Amino acid sequence: MPSPYAFIQMAKKTPEGFLFAVKAHQDMTHKRQDNAAVFQQFRQALQPLLEVGKFGCVLAQFPFSFHANPESQDYLRLLRERLADLPVVIEFRNREWLTQENFALLREHDLGFCCVDEPRFASLMPPIAEATSARVAYVRFHGRNAQKWWHHEQAWERYDYTYKPEELQEWVPKIRALDGMAEKTFVFANNHWQAQAVGTARQLKLDLGAGGNG
């Protein structure tokens, strides 16, 4: 659980206009029972970022075992209620969430959809571009290391991947489309082993023609 003090220090070290996307605590996405106090503590931790205008959104990353059923849909409603008016993005790992009914649920409760690039397994999310909140669109590049995605000794092995320029080019029109659907669009590179994420971000910035610190 992050501390308010940690966010105060992080805010001081970042320039004007910098925004933080904060990942929800695991007890908010994986435990999902008797966790009301965790939500309260998490919201309190975010206050320093909110006060200085450096809070972007919350990313709630659910596990593959979070199935698309009425119980899980009710939990998304509860999550929205507990996070009040904060911008929130939902990352599903299981492809079964890809239905118009579930997209409508996200839109109804102003929950953003996290678009992902990851190995093209039938059970995982395909590389679709969808914005379900007018406030925030969100993309994560996890890499396409299919060999190590399910079978690895260390967690980092899953994200050990270097994107080819043409693979990132596939996302350029998608990101531009998302940017036209939401007030803010966040794009994160999560293929972080040996700093490949830096290369991913730089290449995307060039492809998108982003200027300044964007």
Q: What is the pLDDT along the chain (214 residues), one digit of tens a residue?
A: 989 999 999 999 999 999 999 999 999 999 989 999 999 999 999 999 999 999 999 999 999 999 999 999 999 999 999 999 999 999 999 999 999 999 999 999 999 999 999 999 988 899 999 999 999 999 999 999 989 888 888 888 889 999 999 999 999 999 999 999 999 999 999 998 889 999 999 999 999 996 544 4
Distance, C-alpha 113 to centroid of its chain: 8
CA distance 23 to 173: 26
- Between CA 214 and CA 211 the distance in angstroms is 6
Q: Contact 38/28 with Cβ under 8 angstroms? A: yes
CA 112/CA 59 separation, integer angstroms: 9
Specify the 3-state DSSP secondary structure of 19. Answer: coil
What's the DSSP call for residue 53?
A: T
pLDDT at 193: 84
Question: In the chain, which segments carry CATH 3.20.20.410?
Answer: 1-11+19-109, 116-214
CATH homologous superfamily, domain 1-11+19-109:
Protein of unknown function UPF0759 (3.20.20.410)
- Report the CATH number of the 116-214 domain: 3.20.20.410
* pTM for the predicted model, two decimal places: 0.92
* Structural contact between residues 36 and 12, judged by C-beta atoms closer than 8 angstroms: no
Q: What is the pLDDT of residue 210?
A: 66
